[in-house]
Structure 1
């Protein structure tokens, strides 16, 4: 009896084994699918962001809740940024420091030339000396900084220190001791309202 009984119209339960043609058809289809995926991959991959380029992130910070003498920490591009509301006494002390006494004489301010001096006026925006904005990572090995009064109870809060290697930074974010050799960077920022700053855009 053949695979199909012509007298009854009932198919035999036994199917014929796959042929070479069936095998070649399956293999050709598989290779075609893989080849198509490889051909489309460059188009798909170019839509992904460049991993070497940081995201164009900005951060708005409301300054109203920050009392004089207080620091808040906000996240920007995966980094902690200190926003300090300095008192008039803190500003005066920071401005009385001679640049010649600093380990790093450069401002490290994204809004200024690389060789701008590290006097206090170059660490803040013109006309707004009460607001200090700096990246809160030690410039030695990138450890997160802590307030100085955390290790010196009763101190007047003269700045920040690195708990790993004891680097110290003043209330202008300038290195004053320890293994760190450069000042804390001042990120690009601007006032977009009387009491709101935008970090990430000068």
Structure 2
């Protein structure tokens, strides 16, 4: 018995409608007029079946800040709006709530993997694991103080702890994320790379 049978969906590579049978999370049959018994059946006439999306650059909890100062140039937006609001409001709870919204939006759009960088990524990990979505979670590294750390050395130390806590999880995997060339010195960027190589994770 199939777990899922999708009937009469358009598969772009085939150029015409077909049925798709899924069992144990794998596509096991593709053909026309499949009459297999299935736990669930989706009538998909007029719909297209294609692989899920991967969003390779997110700050998913910033869903709570969407639209604020959107008309400003980048550095004005960061310095006059975003960093001010983050300094006031960002907390593990803020990040969790923003992740709930952002991950719900991702799933509803067909995204099953996102690569994230923000503060308190432990909260994003909690939501991603509960939602069943894959996520690369980057501990953000900066040269200036925030609620997460005060110095580049402290960011790097906390990033190392984060990587070791989340390495080997089923759905989420840790990464090292120096914020940008305009917020990290060459020395911080070099040490971030060294840490990623030492721990065997993406940067």
Question: Normalised by the shorter chain, which TM-score bucket?
Answer: under 0.3
Bigger relative CO (Cα 8 Å, ≥ 6 apart)? 1
Q: Please identify the structure whose Cα radius of gyration is greater.
A: 1
The structure with the largest helix share of the pair is 2
Q: TM-score if structure 2 supplies the norm length? A: 0.24
Q: TM-score if structure 1 supplies the norm length? A: 0.24
The structure with the largest strand share of the pair is 2
